[in-house]
Each structure stands twice: as structure tokens, then as C-alpha cells.
Structure 1
Amino acid sequence: MINYLRRKKRNKPEYGWFGRYSSWQDASAVADGYEKENILEKTKEALLKVKRREAVYERDSVLFDKKEYPFPLISFLLHTALQKEAPLHILDFGGSLGSTYFQVKEFLTPRVCASWSIVEQEHYIACGQALFEDEVLKFFHSIDECLAAYPVDLIILSSVVQYLPDPHRFLDSLTAHGFEAILFDRTAFVKESKDRLTVQKVWPNIYEASYPTWFFNEVGFLKHFAREYEIKAEFKTYVEGEAVVDIDHEPIGYEKGFFLVKKH
């Protein structure tokens, strides 16, 4: 029995989410960080194949031969455009080089989408402006820079808030901006009484990297929006394997989304 338990422990995956860190600095000290050049390079090459129609779909730098659609996101895009009775100016915060844009592009008719803007890290912006911008897709260094160019109707945050050093300060800034609609997708939560800071060790078939990752207490996360926003819908992630997430090999994490609309 002892040998069996030892083998079982050895066979546990070494990739995934681990730890309980007291600060972003502590977690960063044992992680590579999201700024690694190999992440951008692999994402760029994958999305160029999608843009050239040599591949169907990209997610997290991985190419797929069959597209998976984020149907809740598409539904709320169409709903918001219908409510506005005009095409939307969309801000995709942390949208990489346009992963979601290319994923749903066939639904972004001129009656639905007037502009799709991405705010990202500096090296992503330079790459995006050089290789991926078109008449609809644009790249900006900050939310304020984007707002100076377009009157944003909807901000999308897909798998991004959990990778910010100070996420609660950022969430407060969202309410201060007063966006009419906020869409959170693939956001990480934990079945614990408070937030948990981990280090994510990425599976090497995606790319070699590790970085700090938050898992939020859902009640505390939503408190940021209780006064100014109404929760119109909550929904499960469309990505297989993200509905339940192991942290230190325990199934206590999960990813889900929320669609929030400003109260009037």
C-alpha cells in the first residue's frame, strides 16, 4: 500500500495550478511571468495562420481543426446591439492579438460591430498594430486611449482578470468608467471564503511558462458591481475542462462568466 501511494503521488501532474501565496511578489518570485517572448511568438504564428485561413481557430496559442464557439458571448453581443439599435464599439481587454475577434468574426456584421478594440501589453500592441489591424480591429495601450477614439458600448474580459497583479483595484476602475455593459468570460473562482493566489504551470504542449493566477471568491468579486450594475446572466465556460479546476490536485476551482448591465 505504501508503494502504491508513493507511485500515485509521483503520477500526479506537475502542470496546473499550485500553492497559496500571500502576495503577487511572492508568487512572481517562483514564476516566469506572462511577458515571456515565447508566448507572444507562438500566439502570433498561430493567429497568422488563422488570418490567412490556413487554420480554423486559435485559443491560448493552440490551433484547432474545429472551431468552438463562445455562444454566451455571441448571444450577449447580439443582444446588446439589438438593444442599442446600432453597431457596437467593443473593447476586448487583454484580448491578445485578436483571439476572440477571429473566433466570432463571422457574427460581427456591420449591423453588430462598428469597432473591436484590444488593450494589451506593450509588445502585443506593437505586434497587433503591425500584423493584425484592419478596418474593425484596433489595438490600444490603455482603456483611456481606447475611449478617446471610440465610445465603448461593451467591454469584454475573457480569461484576463485573474492574471492582473491588483485585480480588485482594476475591478473598481471598471465601475468608475461606467461602461454600459460588462462581459466576464472564463474567469477563475474558488470554493473558499476568500481569494486564493496560485502559480499556474502551463502544460508544455501549449508553451513553456508559469505565472501567478488568482482564483476569486465569487461573492467578493461581484460586490464591486452590486450598486452600479445588474447581473443579467451568469454562465458556464464553453471550454471543456475549465468547469472544474484542480488546485493542488483538489477540484476546488472553477471558471464561469457574468453579463452585467449598468443600472439606470
Structure 2
Amino acid sequence: MLKQLFSRRRKNRYGWFGDYTSWEKVREKAAGYDSNVILERTTNALLKVKLGEAVYERDSVLFDKKVYPYPLMAYLSLSRNLKKQPLNILDFGGSLGSTYYQLREILTPDVCASYNVVEQEHYVTSGNANFANDTLKFYRSIDACLAEKEIDFVLLSSSVQYLEQPHPFLEKLAGYNFDFILFDRTAFNKQSFDRLTLQIVPPEIYPASYPAWFFHEEFFLSHFSGMYKVAAEFSSYVEGEAVMYIDNKPSGADKGFYLINRTIHA
């Protein structure tokens, strides 16, 4: 929803702006993602979905009709077939389980053994209090999750671009030796280097702004070249994210990649 709104708006004060040289310079202008306002709105919206009072939530916004992430659904099914057993899924930056609730009718016990969200501490607290169940769990780090679960499939949807140090994280992610990794709704630009911007959210969603990366695709994928093969590349399932605007100019796109560990699945 965020990027759909931003992508369609031209010459206004909401969206992605700038080409910053450091995270600190962006933070000077930002009111961060750890805002309690965002958590409160997301909690209230997703509780309506959980209770059957709404159909679908994305980025704290409620919808009366689901938009399905068909690439994710297809590659979850393929991964389950390759693994030949239900998957233990880790959703990095998965909010309060938005994707879990979006897909819960297909995340049957035959497909999903467990669904584990890694998030910021205040999200984990709210998630465990309001949304956790026998399948859905919340953790403060990948390592905390791995202490309890053996993860097969990692989902990173619209999350890596909000990390201060994304490349050390990606290098570490590759080193975990997971069977499958799927990036979705990840921002890439048309330049030969990463671009750091300030994302300003329309107040009708929530009042916030924060740093956001647009990645250089080749460098991004280079972290995984030794162990993984890129089995698929796909556009974002969200309308309006095929073209992303920075400073009101078309500058990139949200897209995804499905990676298979070639040392496990030759």
C-alpha cells in the first residue's frame, strides 16, 4: 500500500527523496520506523483481520479484498516439494504476521510446519501478546529463532532496504546455509551503486519517515553467488511498484528473487 500510493503520486512531498551519503544524515530528517504510532495502527488493523472483521492488512492499511502474492505462493509450494516435508518458515521483518494471515488458508500443516517472524523488540512483544499461536511465533533475531527451530525457507519482503547495514546482513544471511531464500518487494535502482533515500509516508497511513535503500542488483545478489542459484526473478505483486519514483522521477522498481541452495538441492 505504501509504495502503491507513492508510485502513483507525482511532485508532492510524500515518497522517496534524495541521494544521501550516510545513514546518519538521513536519520537527522527522519522520524523512524520504530515509532509506537506505526505499531499501534498495525496492531489494531491486524486484530480486525484475526477476528474476521476485515479481510486483509498491509502496511497497517485494511483492504476489503485480498491481493495475493502469487510468486511467493508458487515458490513456497515448490520449496515444500523439493524439501519433501512441511516447511519451517522465517519471515524477516514480517511485522505482526501480516503475510501469515494473508496466506493462512494455504499454510496448511502439510505446507507449513511453523511460521516464525523476526522483528523489532516492541513488535515481538505485541506479536506474542496478540497474535502468536501454535504455528505463528515471534523472535527478536534470526539466531533466537534458530535456537528453537531448524528453518528451511526465509522470506524477506520489503524489509532489507530498511536496514542500516544491509550488506553485512546479506553476507551473514548467506552463511546460515538455508535451503531457500525469497526476496519480495525489494527496491532496486537503475544505477550501478546503492542509493540511500528518505522515505516520507503519507499521514493518512501513519506519520513517519525513515531511511530507505535502493540497491544495485548485481552487488545485492553477489552475496549469494557462491552457494545459491537464482531460480526465479519476478516483479512485485503490489500494483504500482513496477516503477518506483525518487525525487518524483522514475528511478527503479520493486522486485523479487527466489534462491535455492545448490549445495543442498543440486
TM over 0.5: yes
Which structure has the larger Rg over C-alpha atoms?
1
1:141, distance to aligned residue in structure 2 (A): 1.0
Q: Which runs of 5+ in 1 are unaligned?
A: 1-10
Pairs within 5 Å for 1:234-253: 234-253=233-252
1:62, distance to aligned residue in structure 2 (A) = 0.3
- Classify the secondary structure of the residue corresponding to 1:175: helix
Structural mapping, 1:163-242, within 5 Å: 163-242=162-241
User: Identity over aligned residues, as a percent?
Assistant: 58
The aligned residue for residue 122 of structure 1 is 121
What is the TM-score normalised by the length of structure 1?
A: 0.95
Deviation at 1:253, TM superposition (A): 1.7
Q: Does 1:34 align with 2:54?
A: no
Q: In structure 2, what is the Cα distance between the partners aligned to 1:141 and 1:256?
A: 26
Amino acid at match of 2:125: A
Shift, 1:30, TM fit: 0.6
Question: 1:45 aligned to 2:53?
Answer: no
Counting matched residue pairs gives 254
Aligned match of 1:139 = 138
Q: Helix, strand or coil for the counterpart of 1:242?
A: coil
User: How many angstroms does 1:83 deviate by?
Assistant: 1.3
CA–CA separation in structure 2 for the residues paired with 1:194 and 1:216:
7
Alignment of 1:62-77 (within 5 A): 62-77=61-76
Q: Distance in 1 between matches of 2:37 and 2:240?
A: 24
Q: CA RMSD in A?
A: 0.8
Structure 1 residues 196-238: Cα deviation after superposition (integer angstroms, max 9, x where no partner)? 0000001122111000000001111111111110000000000
Rounded Cα–Cα distance in structure 2 between residues aligned with 1:41 and 1:146: 24
Runs of 4 or more, structure 1, over 4 Å off, are: none
Please tell me the residue identity of whatever aligns with 2:129: A
- The one-letter code matched in structure 1 to 2:177 is G
Any idea what SS the aligned residue of 1:138 has?
strand
What is the deviation of 1:84?
1.2
Q: How many Å separate the matches in 1 of 2:200 and 2:115?
A: 31
> Which residue is equivalent to 2:156?
157
Distance between the aligned counterparts of 1:64 and 1:244, measured in 2? 22
Unaligned runs of 5+ residues in structure 2 are 1-9
2:29 and 2:115 map into 1 onto residues whose CA distance is 35
Question: 1:33-78, CA deviations, whole angstroms, 9 ceiling, x for partnerless residues?
Answer: 1011100000000000000000000000000000000000011111
**What secondary structure is seen at the aligned counterpart in 1 of 2:104?**
helix
For residue 159 of structure 2, what is the amino acid of its counterpart? V
Q: Which of 1 and 2 has higher RCO (CA within 8 Å, sep 6+)?
A: 2
* Structure 1 residues 3-18: aligned runs within 5 Å: 12-18=11-17
Per-residue CA shift, 1:143-174, capped at 9, x if unaligned?
01101111100000000000000000100001
